Structure 1
Amino acid sequence: MHPHVTSSMFFSQGEEATSSSKTAQCTVSCMYQAHIGGFWRTVTAHWTKNIMHHSLNILVDSVESPDRRHHCKVDLKPWHFWGKKSYKTFEVDSLQIDVYWDFRSARFSGSPEPSSDFYVALICDEEVVLLIGDLEKKVYKRTKSRPGVDTILFFKKEHVFGKKSFTTKARFDKERKDYEILVESSTSSGSKDPEMWISIDGVVLIHIRNLQWKFRGNETVLVNKQPIEVLWDVHAWLFLSPGSNHGSFIFKPGQPNSESDKEDDSQDGTEEGDNNSVNKDYSNAPQCCVFLYAWKIEYQ
């Protein structure tokens, strides 16, 4: 069963970041469903960057011990002699997981997670069970592994620091295109009528005037004909001291399948084999919810 992400996570997910503002620590957490060792498991890629450190921590949930998470850490050091192309091995429920990465040509655009020209691959039993990045051919050539069941990105959380604009990326459709989300605001101390704009791929879809009265709310917009529910809470921007807390945003896609489609899929799956059951689970997977926490370091 795939996890269900709801807006009740809106506030609890942000509480842990209160101390982040002290060190301006940008973080990105991406949660995937990956088929490893015959089971769907949650795999979290947690990217972290501040003045002193830049790292990736991979956590894989255990099936044998539900409260346990196996992990592997990769340091992205700025020095020229660190292993920008290397690998590590760790165990998950007695399974050997090989983690291969290549950051030699990685491009960054302000986020701890590279934007292009890199890969991180998890290999189990000569099968690629998770692939992050855009250098797919190089992964298979290097590891001599076969493709596994497609992974599912179902949750993304990012903490971003800035003055008046904040960006993140999201995947909302089956084509897995990356959409760029931009949140902009005019909330300077002398502004009489603060405003906020939310754009996706350069198109302003939400424009909030009189933000001091509408600092919490939600709207549904269409992105490539798909409904996306957008929720926001920017009380901290307007009424708290800069950097003491963050503005919060959720981007939650509507379900792509109707109820009748789900019932048909369920009936078909009762007579299918194990492999088709895996494919059925993937086709009914939830869309990715994106949580953006925007920290204003100072007002303009």
Structure 2
Amino acid sequence: MRDFTSCFGENGVQVADTSSCSSANLCKSSPNLVTCTYQCKLVGKSCLISVSWSKNLMGHCLSVEISDLSHQCLCKVDVKPSLFTKRKGFKCLDVSSCKIDLFWDLSMAKFGSGPEPLEGFYVGIVFKGEMVLLVGDLRKEALKKTGAVPSLFNSIFVSKKEHLVGKNVYGSKTRFTENGLMHSIVIECDANGNDDLCLIVRVDSKPVMKVKHLRWKFRGNYTILVDGLPVEIFWDVHNWLFGTTLGNAIFMFQTCLSAEKLWTGETVLDDSEQQWPCLPSFKESKVSSLGFCLTLYAWKHE
């Protein structure tokens, strides 16, 4: 999985070249970060556009990165928080020798506890008068401001990566399909009054997975059904249990299209009846799906 690039620097708006889009710039100092990635038709080919939100003492930060399907960074823009600049703007980008316009308006954005705005905002990418990507609820305002028309090729929401901080409970919300229902996801890790750690995953308050004896089953995967769609859950809590420094656990929710991945059992796993394969790493796992992927990085706060 790709690392997050840093979004902090000296200037309010900065355009980075491809050499600065490396994993070495991982924002380790603040896990308060959400990145949404969309597949779009841009400059005559399919590209990935990642919109990242983070938060520091100065406020909220927006970062937009455009890359090809091999994840080679083509262009990156950081819009950094400032008490002295407006929270809306425009930037002309050069991607593969083509001019692309980036528009954003966060002046009326409403935020919750996380870095990602809930409503009252838009971020748009315009190429040759077409709105290639439009994120946010102010769609009419964005089209009027930019003078663009909706693109003939719809963008596809392919992944979301989110850093969470907690003690025993971690929560997030997501849609597993473009027009699907919004679902709440809660991950609980507790000792239940003894040394036997137990991992529970709930979707909309309903337990869908339970892992007992977590020290022996710190990596694994299982498939559940959400809205009739198979969703494969991968987990890796090795750093929680055996890391020499305070690290994060990783949970991945991947929609899978293969019929043989369909799960028809009970909603809660019984470890006496199920097999628990261990994965050497998420990078080596083979997920044969082109669907949506939610990755949660869970940081323990004692």
TM-score (norm 1): 0.74
Within 1, Cα distance between the matches of 2:81 and 2:139? 20
Deviations for 1:89-131, whole angstroms, at most 9, x for unmatched residues? 2221232222211212323233322232221111111110011
Match of 2:48 among 2, 21, 42: 42
Does residue 71 (structure 1) correspond to residue 71 (structure 2)? The answer is no
Shift of 1:253: 0.6
Contact 1:187 1:238 in 2 (8 A): no
Deviations for 1:168-210, whole angstroms, at most 9, x for unmatched residues? 333312424432222122259x742322221223322112233
Within 1, Cα distance between the matches of 2:157 and 2:56? 25
Q: Which residue of 2 aligns with 1:264?
A: none
Q: What's the C-alpha RMSD, in Å, of the aligned pairs?
A: 3.1
The one-letter code sitting in structure 2 at the alignment partner of 1:181 is: I
Match of 1:226 among 222, 229, 240: 229
Q: Which residue of 2 aligns with 1:156?
A: 160
Where structure 2 has 5 or more consecutive residues not aligned to the other structure, the ranges are 5-22, 261-288
Does residue 212 (structure 1) correspond to residue 215 (structure 2)? The answer is yes
Deviations for 1:128-153, whole angstroms, at most 9, x for unmatched residues? 00111122122112222100121012
Structure number with higher helix proportion: 1
Q: Which residue of 1 aligns with 2:199?
A: 196
Contact 2:240 2:246 in 1 (8 A): no
Q: 1:217 to 1:13 in 2, by over 3 A?
A: farther
The one-letter code sitting in structure 2 at the alignment partner of 1:255 is: L
Shift of 1:230: 0.3
Q: 1:200 to 1:116 in 2, by over 3 A?
A: farther
The one-letter code sitting in structure 2 at the alignment partner of 1:38 is: G
Shift of 1:246: 0.8
Shift of 1:56: 1.7
* TM alignment of 1:1-300, pairs within 5 A: 9=1, 23-51=29-57, 54-61=60-67, 67-77=72-82, 79=83, 81-148=84-151, 149-187=153-191, 191-240=194-243, 244-255=246-257, 286-298=290-302
Q: 1:288 to 1:93 in 2, by over 3 A?
A: same
Deviations for 1:268-293, whole angstroms, at most 9, x for unmatched residues? xxxxxxxxxxxxxxxxx921111111
The one-letter code sitting in structure 2 at the alignment partner of 1:248 is: I
**Size of the alignment, in residue pairs?**
255
Q: 1:174 to 1:256 in 2, by over 3 A?
A: farther
Shift of 1:231: 0.9
Within 1, Cα distance between the matches of 2:252 and 2:299? 15
Contact 1:30 1:153 in 2 (8 A): yes
Shift of 1:20: 5.1
Within 2, Cα distance between the matches of 1:172 and 1:112? 21
Where structure 1 has 5 or more consecutive residues not aligned to the other structure, the ranges are 1-8, 259-284
Shift of 1:67: 4.4
Contact 1:108 1:115 in 2 (8 A): yes
**Partner-residue secondary structure (3-state), 2:86:** coil
Within 2, Cα distance between the matches of 1:20 and 1:174? 29
Shift of 1:250: 0.9
Q: Which residue of 1 aligns with 2:277?
A: none
| Higher-RCO chain (CA-CA 8 Å, sequence separation at least 6) | 1
